[in-house]
Structure 1
Amino acid sequence: MSAALPVGFPQPTEMGEIEVKQYPDYRAVTYTHTGEAQQATGVAFNPLFQHISSNQIAMTTPVEARYLESSPAQSDSPNTVEVSFLYPNPDINPQQIDAGVKVTDYPAMTVVSAGIQGAYTWESYQINLRRLHDWLAENPQYQVAGSPRRLLYNSPMTPESMKRSEVQIPIQKPIS
Structure 2
Amino acid sequence: MSASLPQGFPQPTEVNVIEVKQYPQYRGVTYTHTGDSRMATRVAFDPLYQHISTNQIAMTTPVEARYVVEGEQTEVSFLYSTPDMTPQKIDSQVMVRDTLPMTVVSIGVQGAYTWESYEQNLQKLQHWLAQHPEYEVVSSPRRLLYNSPMTPEDLKRSEVQIAVRLNSN
TM bracket, shorter-chain basis:
over 0.9
8 Å CA contact 2:105, 2:125 repeated in 1: yes
How does the TM-score come out when normalised to structure 2?
A: 0.99
- CA deviation vs aligned residue, 1:49-79 (integer Å, no higher than 9, x gap): 000010011100000000011x43xxxxxx0
Q: Name the residue aligned to 2:109.
A: 116
Indicate the SS of the match to 2:74: strand
1:105 aligns with 2:77: no
Q: Name the residue aligned to 1:81.
A: 74
Q: Name the residue aligned to 1:4.
A: 4
Candidates 125, 134, 137, aligned match of 2:127: 134
Q: Name the residue aligned to 1:60.
A: 60
Give the total of aligned pairs: 169
1:164 aligns with 2:157: yes
- In structure 2, what is the Cα distance between the partners aligned to 1:161 and 1:95? 38
Structure 1 residue 93: deviation in Å? Answer: 0.4
Please, what is the CA RMSD of the aligned residues? 0.6
Q: Name the residue aligned to 1:50.
A: 50
Unmatched segments (≥5 aa) in structure 2: none
- In structure 2, what is the Cα distance between the partners aligned to 1:8 and 1:40? 27
Structure 1 residue 2: deviation in Å? Answer: 1.1
- CA deviation vs aligned residue, 1:79-104 (integer Å, no higher than 9, x gap): 00000000000110000100000000
Q: Name the residue aligned to 2:86.
A: 93
- In structure 2, what is the Cα distance between the partners aligned to 1:152 and 1:174? 29
Indicate the SS of the match to 2:127: helix
Unmatched segments (≥5 aa) in structure 1: 73-78
- CA deviation vs aligned residue, 1:105-156 (integer Å, no higher than 9, x gap): 0000000001000000100000000000000000000000111000000000
8 Å CA contact 2:133, 2:167 repeated in 1: no
How does the TM-score come out when normalised to structure 1?
A: 0.95
Give the letter aligned to residue 161 of structure 1.
D
